[in-house]
């Protein structure tokens, strides 16, 4: 199987087009289809001094391995001219349109996975389009009630119970229902999309020292531990709750497939320290495979030739592996 991967270049004024073109300059054991404006990619390639042949994407043709120096494009036109590094609100709708076309293609089976370059949330909102991020748009367009953010590097995976919440709101958000849903999604998708027969999940506590028997908070005793016990009865392999300050050590990590953190800055600083620029953002819980980079639009680097495509390369590799695993699982 040669998977066909949809790649959205993200914010046109950022480094998304740059790293998309850098990817096109490599050979891949998958077909990579950019969904965007061919004129933008052609202009940026000229600015970067890259010789990339842009071709029209033919969805009726069988997927073929990507050949360095070429790039099939499913065209979506910009609304206004784009200058590298300069945001333009008129093009906010273009960014959303590329994502919607990619999502539709994944749901219809044209694409085996979606890989996204970074978007600039501020300019989309400034254009009057309500937008809180890729993940929320994907959940809405696919009718998915609950998704889970997981970041992964070569040596570590971290999934999150909550994502972009103020810290004072996190304890109230950690409910038995939330933990049951999110941990079940993590377990299911590690089986389905990563091919793990019995995922081992290390669950962090919410409070320092995982509450220290109730002396440093009662969430562990009243919410987390009872919920983990319920899920263990359903067959999930869960360790914890573990103190977050000692969980990220080889003794724990060597014995688990993913660390499950209660909030954003509890789990991600360690992962990003270990693999920044080469980590992958994965959305679990969707009916499609979706991966993304671990960085932003880097407007100051757009068009300079200094953008690093390492995270996008990792995202494409992981999307390919996940798509193949999901297909193999669906056949069994």
Binding residue positions for a divalent metal cation: 164, 209, 264
The answer to whether 296 and 15 have CB atoms below 8 angstroms apart is no
Q: Which residues are annotated as a binding site for substrate?
A: 134-135, 272, 281, 290
- Rounded distance, CA 307 to CA 277, Å? 11
**DSSP, res 62:** P
Total H helices, total E strands in the chain = 13, 12
The answer to whether 211 and 221 have CB atoms below 8 angstroms apart is yes
Give me the sign of the Cα torsion angle 331, 115, 6, 109.
Answer: positive
Q: What six digits make up the tokens of 129?
A: 């389009």
- Rounded distance, CA 53 to CA 44, Å? 13
Beta-carbon contacts of 220 under 8 Å, excluding residues fewer than 6 positions away, are 205, 206, 207, 210, 211, 214, 241
Q: Which residues are annotated as a binding site?
A: 134-135, 164, 209, 264, 272, 281, 290
């Amino acid at each position: 199987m040669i998977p066909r991967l949809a790649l959205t270049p993200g914010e046109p004024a950022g480094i998304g087009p740059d790293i998309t073109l850098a990817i096109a300059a490599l050979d891949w054991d998958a077909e990579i289809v950019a969904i965007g404006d061919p004129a933008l990619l052609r202009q940026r390639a000229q600015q970067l001094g890259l010789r990339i042949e842009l071709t029209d994407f033919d969805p009726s043709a069988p997927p073929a391995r990507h050949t360095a120096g070429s790039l099939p494009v499913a065209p979506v036109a910009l609304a206004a001219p784009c200058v590298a590094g300069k945001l333009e609100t008129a093009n906010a709708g273009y960014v959303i349109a590329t994502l919607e076309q990619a999502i539709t293609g994944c749901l219809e089976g044209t694409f085996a996975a979606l890989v996204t370059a970074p978007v600039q949330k501020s300019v989309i909102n400034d254009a009057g389009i309500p937008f809180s991020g890729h993940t929320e748009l994907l959940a809405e367009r696919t009718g998915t009630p609950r998704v889970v953010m997981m970041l992964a590097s070569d040596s570590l995976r971290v999934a999150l119970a909550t994502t972009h919440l103020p810290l004072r709101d996190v304890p109230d958000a950690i409910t038995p229902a939330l933990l049951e849903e999110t941990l079940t999604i993590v377990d299911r998708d590690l089986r389905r999309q990563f091919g793990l027969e019995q995922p081992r999940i290390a669950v962090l506590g919410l409070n320092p020292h995982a509450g220290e028997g109730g002396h440093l908070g009662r969430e562990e005793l009243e919410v987390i531990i009872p919920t983990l016990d319920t899920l263990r009865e359903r067959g999930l392999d869960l360790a914890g709750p573990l103190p977050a300050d000692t969980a990220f050590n080889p003794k724990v990590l060597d014995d688990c497939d993913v660390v499950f953190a209660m909030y954003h800055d509890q789990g991600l600083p360690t992962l990003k320290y270990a693999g920044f620029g080469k980590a992958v953002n994965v959305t679990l819980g969707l009916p499609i495979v979706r991966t993304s980079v671990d960085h932003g639009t880097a407007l100051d680097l757009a068009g300079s030739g200094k953008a690093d495509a390492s995270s996008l390369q990792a995202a494409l590799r992981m999307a390919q592996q996940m798509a193949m695993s999901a297909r193999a699982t669906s056949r069994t």
